[in-house]
Amino acid sequence: MDTLEAWIAEGLTDPREITKKHIEDALDPLRGDQARRLHTSLRSLFRALKRERLVFRDPARSVSLTSSRTLPTSLPSDRIAGLLDRLDDPRDRFMVALVAIHALLPGQLVRLLRTDLDRSKGLLRLRRPGRMDHLVYLDAFTLRLATRWELQRHRRWPDSSNPHLFVTRNTAVDDSAPPISAGVVQKPFKRLGLPAGVLRVDRIYDEARHCADPVRLMELFGLSNLSATRYVLSAHPDKRNGPIAP
């Protein structure tokens, strides 16, 4: 690896000397797939060194590639391009967009909190018990839908203390602050005649078909390596007997 050779040339022969700043400096001149490949390689390297107790910390763990991330900018196919035009309610439109564009699970919509959405940064945080949080980088279209829902919510229930991102007329004023039900999430998808699970799979498959990169699927949708690889192999059967570029 050229990066390791460069570090050795600089006199960094002990992996314990490598800091987060060294990782960031190595990634800084790279973009796109090159940056993702190097980042993945360094993460794997330091995880292995930590397992062998050759290092005590992983300097690559807290390094992200937010600056080089490519965001989805539109609905992924003609099949769902006009989908949201068939819905009037801002809450329903926002929920469907999060599934159709960003491949969220219905259960994740139920659990989202208002504090998970940072519209100023275009970020949505998915809290995953037992796993690292996944950050969803929202496109401009979805952010507009998020703003419309927040405005409607404030107009209807300005005094609501429910911390959940999505509420109904009942949960908004309930002092126990319950989340919405799974039925509320499924309602707009039933109206469209497209189950949420089908839309989610279609979105991930569409991305796999265009990029054939499991690392990108992991970054965009928070998939495991195994799930991401399965999507790529499904979209590109010709890769079943050959290497898949990380």
Find, among 118, 176, 185, the residue nearest to 146 by Cα.
Answer: 118
Nearest one of 7, 65, 57 to 36, comparing CA atoms? 65
Domain with CATH 1.10.443.10 in the chain: 78-201
- pTM for the predicted model, two decimal places: 0.67
Q: What percentage of residues in the chain have a pLDDT greater than 90?
A: 44
Whether the Cβ atoms of residue 174 and residue 162 lie closer than 8 Å to each other: yes
User: How far is 36 from 172, CA to CA, in rounded Å?
Assistant: 42
- The mean pLDDT of the chain is 84
Least confident of 45-54, 76-85, 134-143, 190-199: 76-85
Contact between 207 and 77 (Cβ < 8 Å): no
Examine the pLDDT at 169 and tell me if it is beyond 60: yes
Asked if 145 and 94 touch (Cβ cutoff 8 Å), the reply is yes
- Strands 123-126 and 117-118 come out as antiparallel
In the 8-state DSSP scheme, what is residue 1? -
- Between 16 and 172, name the one with better pLDDT: 172
Strand segments, DSSP code E, in 79-184 are 117-118, 123-126, 134-137
* Other CB atoms within 10 A of residue 78 CB: 7
Output the six-digit token pair for 100: 């159709």
Residue of higher predicted confidence among 35 and 161: 161
Cα 238–243–246 angle (5° rounding)? 115
CB-CB neighbours of 234 under 10 Å:
14
Which architecture, in CATH terms, is 78-201? Orthogonal Bundle (1.10)
